[in-house]
Structure formats: C-alpha cells, structure tokens
Amino acid sequence: MITAASRSGRLAASGWALVLAIVYFASAKLGLNLAFSTPSVTAIWPPTGIALAALVLWGRGLWPGILLGAFLANVTTDVPVYTAAGIAVGNTLEAVVGALLLERYGFRPTMLRLRDIFALVLLAGLVSTAVSATIGVASLSIGDSLDQSALSAWRVWWLGDMGGDLVVASAIFVLVTQWPYRDLPGKPAEALVLMLVLVGASLVVFTHDAPAAYLTFPIIVWAGLRFLQPGASVAALALAIIAVTFTANDSGPFIRDSQDDSLLLAQSFSAIVGLTGLILGTVTYQRRLAERRARQLAHDLQAELLPPQLPEIPEFEAAGWYRAGMLGQEAGGDFYDVFQASPGRWVAVVGDVCGKGPEAASLTALARYTLRAVGRQASGPSEALLALNEAILEQRSDSRFVTAVMVQLDVEAPDRGVSLSNGGHPSPLLVRARGEVEEVNGDGGMLLGIYPDPTLVDQRLVLGPGDALVLFTDGLAERRDPLDDLGGRIRGLLRASAGASASETAERLGQLALSDDVAPDDDVAVIVLRRLQTQEPAVDAPLAPAESIVIELEPGPRSPSDAREALSPLMDLLTTKVYSDLRLLVSELVTNSVRHARLQAGDRVRLRVALSDRVVRIEVSDPGEGFSAPIPGPTPGLPGGWGLFFAEQLADRWGIDRDGGFTTVWLEKDLNPLGADSGEGA
C-alpha cells in the first residue's frame, strides 16, 4: 500500500532528479561546445563531477536525473538516438560506480582526511571514469560517429571526465559539507585579496605564451594554508575556469597543435594544482585538529595538577595564578597547591619541574600528590620535601629535578606560626601591610631529585595582620631582555599592592607575567598568602554596646565634622590627648575618602570605632577606587596628604584592607588606664 508520505517522498525525489537533469544538461552543453576532434568527445566535462557529487551527497536514487540529462545532451547532437542512449547509460553507470566505490571505501565528502582525497583520485578519477569512456567510445563506434582513432577518443574522454571529478566534484563536496566555514584561519577580507591576486596572476599567465604557470602555485598554497579545503577548492575551480577559457581561445602556455590536447593540459594543470592545495589544506586542518586535541588533553591534565579552587584558611586568604609557557600548551612543569594537613594546620607549596610540556607534567603529578600524601604526617615543611626528594630518586631515572618552596600555617598557634622550607626555589617575598617588601632568604635550598640527602631547613616567619607572603616560580622573574629590571618591577608592584587582597595581588602579578611582548617560553605559578586583619581589637577583650560606634556618612563638606561629633560618647572614656588624637585622625581619614576616593552618587563613607580596655580601633571604609600605601609624607605648603602621615605618627598600628569592593583604612592605638599619666588628665 502506498501511503501519502511515501508518495510525497517519491515526488520530492523525482523533483530533485529533474533538477539534476537540468543542471547536468546545461553543464554538458557547455562541455560539448569545447569538443573539437569528435563532436561528442570533449576534454572538458564538468557533468561528471556534478553527477558524482549528487549521488554521494543526496543518494544514488537520483540516477534517473543523470540518465535523462545525459541523453538529452547527446540526442540533441548529430549522433543517432541509440548512440545517445549508450552514452547516457555510460555516464550514469560512471556516477553510480564511483559513488558505490567511494561508499565501500568509507569515503567522507568533507575531505578532512588524506585518504578521502586519495579515494576520490583513484576510485572516482581513475576507475569509474573508465566506465563512461569505454561505453561512450563503443557507442560512438557503433553509430559510426568517431572522427578520430578509438584510442585517442578514449584518452580524451577519460581525462576529461577525470578532470570533472577532481576539480568540480571536490569543490562541491567541500563547499556543501563544510558550510558555514567558521573554522577557517583566514578572514573574509583576506579571502577577497587572495582571489584578486589569483585572478591577476592567472591573467598574466594565460595572456602570455611564456611558461609562467608556476606563478599560481604560491597562491594555491596560500589558499590551502589560510582557508583550508574550501579555499583550495574554490581557488582551483577559479583557476580551471580561467585556464580553460583562455586556452580554448588559443592563449596561454598550454597551446598545442591539437585543441583537445591544449585543453587537456590546461585542465590537468588546474587539477594538479587543486589537488596540491587540497592536500595542503587537509594537512593544515589535521595539524590544527591535533593541536586543539593536545590543548584539550593538556587542559584536562592540568586540571588534575592544579587545585580547582583554593580552600578557605582561618584568618588567612590564599590566591593562585598559573600560565603554561609553551604556546598552545596548557600543561607545564610549574605547579602550586594549598591543602589542610590536619586540624589547624595548612600547607601551601609552589614548585617547578625541570622541562616543559607533558613530560614535565608527569613529574609534576608525582611531586604534587607526594607532597599531599606526606604533608599530612610530616612535622614540618622540610620533612615533606625530603620525602619528595626520596620519591623522585626512587621512581625517576631521567635526571629531571624539582625546585619547591613549602609553607606551613599553624593557625591555631598563639602566634599564628608560619614555617617555610626552600628546596632550590626562588626566594619568596614578604609584603608588609605598610608596603615594605622583604626577600625571605634562608639556609639550605638544595634541588630535589639530585642528591640523596639535600640540606633543607625549616625557617620561622612572622606574618602580622595585613602582611602577605608571595611564592612564585622563576618564569615570573625571567625576561629575554637583559635590560629589563623585572625584579624591581615585581617589588614595585608588590609595594603598590600592600593591603590589597590576595586575589588582587595574584592577578596583578599575572598581568605582569603577561606583559612580555614575546611569546611565553616558561611556565609561571604564583601563590599569595595574606594574613587577614581581624575586625576585633588587638587584645581579647569583649566590647560593651556603648563602646562601639558605627555610622555612615554622606560624602560632603560636613563629613569630617560629623565624624568628629560621632566620637563624643568616648570623651569621658579616654584621656584628653588620646581623644584629641582620635578626632584629628578621624577627621583626616574621612577627608581623604571624600576628596580622593572618587565616590559615586549614593555612596557612603562608613566609620567604625571599637573600644576595649587596652586598645581603640578606628576603621574608615568607602567603595571608591582605592590607592597604594607607601610610607606617607605630606608636601609642605600644600593642602591634603596628611591623613596617612598622621596615622603613621599617632597610631601604634595602621594599614589598608581591600575586601568586597570596599577600601578600609584602619588604625589601632594602645591605651593606658585612665589617669595613669597625670599629664593626660581630663
């Protein structure tokens, strides 16, 4: 039973077959206009490529369109009807056999593999075209329509059909299957320039008799490299059209005594050039694909070598930044890690493996996971690094070594102890809250994986509130330009970043690493560990509600006086000098925020004052742009510039924090019991 759906499908197939017949007929007439020795034998036969592409792309069920188009094209010539029918059968079988052979071979019309190009050349170009040539010449011989020897006619027929497959079919395959051409390296403007250059060079070649056809080869290479298979196919098709047009009019380097031979030379040249560009485009595509897969593999590998996110450490903040040095390679030899070794004890490590790429990444994996395993039981950083040294010597025989610096944070210790051990790694930098930058040098520091008993020493550090410890690999401090004082630039950047969050400091160092104009050739890993400035006073003393003041000020001329007025409840709780100092400090800090923070409409300046029996703490916060905090010093004779100067002179501790979009200037002043100093009575 024939359903409506099947009837509709057959009508659609018949319609497409009719379209194919029309296209085949039109292109056949174009080719027959270039037949010379025998009216039905031509060296230019684009219908072969059209028919093969149609059956491969849209199914062999379209063969009636080929049969009809070929019959109409030949019956309208001077050959007998039965000869036209024989030629039509040969043309149809040629396309069907070619499509079958390609299907059996696993041909993909995208032409993204070299085997697809070779299959098109051998199975379609050489084998299936012989079917049409043989049947067609036999039909002409039976109809007594040959004006030349059968062998000569067969050669012209076969080579003409081969050119149709290699030039026309390849272009249709690529242009249809690779649409919309989004993955091409070249841009539309470059494609336009390429076509103009190709047309110009072709006109030069084919308007002169000089053998200059080789001038088109660099252009086809350009097309293959920059526009892959689509570019090479279109360029070859354009070149073939120009070459055939001029050669048919007796112009160009391929003119011979026989016009058929001249056209065969022109078309063969175009086909060879086109295949060269197509192969080059395919090789380029495969190389790009391999690089993309390598990047993805490296990305997946690197994801296992770096922590997906750093953990939260009580009273500390940690941030990391990483960049692989090899262009197009995301897995490198540098690594970092932060993990909890035990309750109250945290470990951070930065390391650098000898070499780059996947080979180094394998040693990176050994280093990272060894340190994670032994770091939980080790009593200190040096013990963990010694265990890593032993593991490298036992498991590696390729003479690769590792440098590493390991930090242990004991957040539950009274002094929030920080210990560090350096195994041949660049010295970390300690950034104080006030802007000083110190290099952490220590004893030991031998490479890991070279000697069985390297000298490693645990070193104790003191990180005050707002201080940051910066660990990095040598890729950050190295530059190809010997005149570039990168070490000075790093220190200057860290001085300007005093008080900034760990993530902000790490990102700034990353931007510095990316500032080199040349392609990176070394990995870079950075870790920033910053001790947070606690919001409570420096001593452990509970605050009564009356001893804490929090207000928000609208930026304006009255803000400093409003801030001073807010301190009034503390007048009877502080000595006259301390109270006066605090009023001066609050007034200057609020003035700084109003004048220099570039606040927007609706922004507020927040003032917080906390008082205990031993310390008073003041915080002035605003959502402005923030600023660096060098050791302050005002300019005599000029207004402003005194706020941080007074903080330096009058406060016992001060610093700048940036967190959550707010910049906070804080200061603490230690207190004596009221009246202890008679000179400071109320």
Pair of tokens at residue 503: 């993530």
Evaluate whether 108 touches 64 at the Cβ level (below 8 Å): no
Buried-exposed string 651-672: b where 16+ CB fall within 10 A, e elsewhere = bebbbbbbbeeebbbbbbbebe
Q: Is residue 537, in this structure, part of any structural domain at all?
A: no
Q: Is residue 5 part of a domain?
A: no
Q: Which of 278, 305, 332 is the last residue of a domain?
A: 305
Indicate if 477 and 626 belong to the same structural domain.
no
User: Is 61 a domain residue?
Assistant: yes
Among 147, 177, 207, give the residue marking a domain's end: 177
Q: How many CB atoms sit inside 10 A of residue 301's CB?
A: 18
Buried b (16+ CB within 10 A) or exposed e, 35-50: bbbbebbbbbbbbbbb
Q: In the prediction, which pLDDT does 640 show? A: 44
Q: Based on the fold, state whether residues 136 and 74 are members of the same structural domain.
A: yes
Q: Do 350 and 440 sit in the same domain of this protein?
A: yes
Q: Which of 280, 305, 330 is the last residue of a domain?
A: 305
pLDDT value for 219: 94
Q: Which long-range contacts (CB under 8 A, 24 or more apart) does 77-82 make?
A: 77/32, 77/39, 77/40, 78/39, 78/145, 79/39, 79/40, 79/140, 79/143, 79/145, 80/143, 80/145, 82/139, 82/142, 82/143
pLDDT in tens, 367-416: 888 898 898 888 889 999 999 999 988 887 677 788 999 999 988 776 66
Q: What is the CATH number of the domain that holds 333?
A: 3.60.40.10
Are 29 and 110 part of one and the same domain? yes
151 and 89 co-located in one domain = yes
Are residues 414 and 479 located together in one domain of the fold? yes
By C-alpha distance, which of 557, 203, 207 is closest to 219?
A: 203
Here the CATH number for the domain that contains residue 662 is 3.30.565.10
Same domain, 289 and 316: no
- Structural domain that includes position 25: 10-177
Picking from 51, 49, 32, the residue whose alpha carbon sits closest to that of residue 248 is 32
Indicate whether 551 belongs to any domain: yes
Domain match, 287 and 259 both:
yes
Beta strand residue intervals within 490-604, DSSP E: 524-531, 548-553
pLDDT of residue 302: 67
Q: Is 539 part of a structural domain of the chain?
A: no
pTM of the complete model: 0.62
379 and 469 fall within a common domain: yes
| Amino acid at position 53, single letter | A
Q: Which stretches of the chain score pLDDT less than 50?
A: 1, 518, 535-546, 629-640, 673-682
Residue 538 lies in a domain: no
CB-neighbour burial class of residue 550 (10 A; exposed 0-12, middle 13-18, buried 19+): exposed
DSSP state of 426: P
CB 86 within 8 A of CB 142: yes
Q: Based on the fold, state whether residues 317 and 298 are members of the same structural domain.
A: no
Helix, coil or strand: residue 302: helix
- Residue whose structure tokens are 């870079």: 524
**One domain, residues 398 and 526:** yes
315 and 301 assigned to the same domain: no
- The number of distinct structural domains making up the chain is 4
How far apart, in whole angstroms, are the C-alpha atoms of residue 361 and residue 303? 11
Q: Is residue 613 part of a domain?
A: yes
Helix, strand, coil % over all residues of the chain, rounded to 5? 50, 15, 35
Supply the CATH number for residue 133's domain: 1.10.1760.20
3 in any annotated domain = no
Which pLDDT score, from 0 to 100, does residue 545 have? Answer: 40
Distances (CA, A) of 654 to 155, 435, 541: 95, 11, 19
**Which residues touch 57 (CB under 8 Å, ≥6 apart)?**
109, 172, 173, 176, 177
